[in-house]
Amino acid sequence: MRILSGIQPSGRLHLGNYFGAIRGHIALQGEGECFYFIADLHALTTIQNADELALLTREVAVAYLALGLDPGKASLFRQSDVPEVTELAWILSTVAGMGLLERAHAYKDKVARGLKPSVGLFTYPVLMAADILAYDSNVVPVGEDQVQHIEMTRDIAGAFNALYGEVLVLPETRLTETPRVVGTDGQKMSKSYGNTIEIFASGKALKSSVMGIVTDSRGVADPKDPEACNVFQILKLFLDAGARGRLAARYRAGGVGYGEVKKELLAAIETRFAPHRAERETLLADPDRVERVLAEGAAKARSAARRTLERVRKACGLPALPSP
Ligand code: ADP
Ligand code: TRP
């Protein structure tokens, strides 16, 4: 079974990325052949500064390794190190319907928020389909916001197969245990909404994002509905069922203030990520080691992508791939 997922290096990784994606990716390593990549080509739709893109890409690689990705069990690579994917994206764009892309929530949402749409932003789902289909992926573990993109991938693969025969493997979505993490303002936590709590923030920056979580105006003594509270929604991610139940009971009974639970959240974040923080520092000091991991990952991914592209080229009547 091939398991594949990607994360854009479009900003610093946050708790939504961790609980919605990365934790699940790491838990799956060893269960199948795992390919995890850093979607630097996708990030070009928002990060248009060379130094920043390189820095953020390395940050994502370091974060995966620091959080427990074992390169012996899962391949980690940069999307742009497998150029076959962009060729496949072009081929897929010739069978993907305009109407399909026009219905993409992520695109519509970004445009509604005032982002000037480039052609790349519009065709983003085609590149994502190529990412998935290039590796004959069976399972794609992601957060809820990506479900539509994987449905579109299945549609595009279906359209290709209908024309050219059973060439592409249709992937299944695998939602992680916590597919929608709320941000400090109660919307989905997202780099593009400025409502994130970063995994590796520390000191003042971490404190100010936690203390900035939006709450209502109920006083300490008032009973509160835990499900309606943004702090509870985030803090519960760190708690087992028992501790979660006890915290919910404290909310309902009254006597717990938002300041107090924010401090508990701060402590929970610090404790959970402390060992990973140390590992991250070690990795940041050893860029060669990180590059080696990415190069090995890319070599494996590339040979898988080339096998798929050979089939695709043949099916469409294109010549065999030139040597790499
Ligand atoms: P962002 O929305 O911050 O740009 P990405 O789109 O790069 O994050 O998401 C990378 C992965 O993290 C995807 O699998 C996505 O579904 C997951 N993810 C992002 N934000 C959340 C969230 N708030 N809750 C759950 N999963 C999320
Ligand atoms: N679009 C995904 C996101 O923003 C990142 C991504 C790119 C991806 N290609 C992928 C995720 C392929 C899963 C599979 O989160």
3-state helix, strand, coil split of the chain in percent (to 5) is 60, 10, 30
Q: Give the count of beta carbons closer than 10 Å to the beta carbon of residue 219.
A: 9
**What are the CA-CA distances from residue 164 to residues 45, 84, 132, 151, 317 (Å)?**
31, 19, 18, 20, 10
Q: Residues with Cβ < 8 Å from 112, sequence gap 6 or more? A: none
DSSP string, 88-109: HHHHHHTTS-HHHHHT-HHHHH
Q: What CATH code is assigned to 2-181+286-316?
A: 3.40.50.620
Q: Are 201 and 18 in contact (CB under 8 A)?
A: no
Choose, from 73, 108, 188, 314, the residue flagged as catalytic. 188
pLDDT at site 107: 93
Q: How many residues does the chain have?
A: 324
Choose, from 191, 224, 236, 262, the residue flagged as catalytic. 191
Nearest bound ligand to the CA of residue 110 = 1
pLDDT at site 113: 87
Q: How far is the CA of 22 from the centre of ligand 2 (A)?
A: 12
Residues with CB under 6 A from ligand 2: 4-8, 39, 42, 128, 131-132, 140, 142, 146, 149
pLDDT at site 30: 86
Q: What is the DSSP letter of 72?
A: T
**What amino acid is encoded at 310 in this protein?**
E
Q: How far is the CA of 16 from the centre of ligand 1 (A)?
A: 6
pLDDT at site 123: 97
pLDDT at site 192: 83
Q: Are 42 and 79 in contact (CB under 8 A)?
A: yes
Q: Residues with Cβ < 8 Å from 246, sequence gap 6 or more? A: none
Q: Which residue from 13, 14, 17 has its CB within 8 A of the most atoms of ligand 1, so it is best to mutate?
A: 17
Residues with CB under 6 A from ligand 1: 7-8, 10, 16-17, 20-21, 142-143, 145-146, 179-181, 188-192
pTM exceeding the 0.85 threshold for the entire prediction: yes
Q: Which residue from 13, 145, 174 has its CB within 8 A of the most atoms of ligand 1, so it is best to mutate?
A: 145
Residues 171/172/173/177 CA torsion (nearest 10 deg)? -130
Give the tokens for residue 86.
């962009």
CATH superfamily of the domain spanning 200-282 = Tyrosyl-Transfer RNA Synthetase (1.10.240.10)
Domain regions of the chain by residue span = 2-181+286-316, 200-282
What is the C-alpha separation between 198 and 183, in angstroms, rounded?
Answer: 11
Which residue numbers in the chain have pLDDT < 50? none
> Going by CA atoms, what residue is nearest to atom 14 of ligand 2?
5
What is the C-alpha separation between 83 and 87, in angstroms, rounded?
Answer: 7
Which is the closest atom of ligand 2 to the Cα of 10? 4
Q: Which residue from 4, 8, 170 has its CB within 8 A of the most atoms of ligand 2, so it is best to mutate?
A: 8
Q: Are 261 and 212 in contact (CB under 8 A)?
A: no
Beta-strand runs (E) in the chain? 2-7, 33-38, 74-78, 139-142, 172-175
What is the C-alpha separation between 322 and 324, in angstroms, rounded?
Answer: 6
SS3 at position 294: helix
Q: Are 313 and 319 in contact (CB under 8 A)?
A: yes
Q: Is 110 a catalytic residue?
A: yes
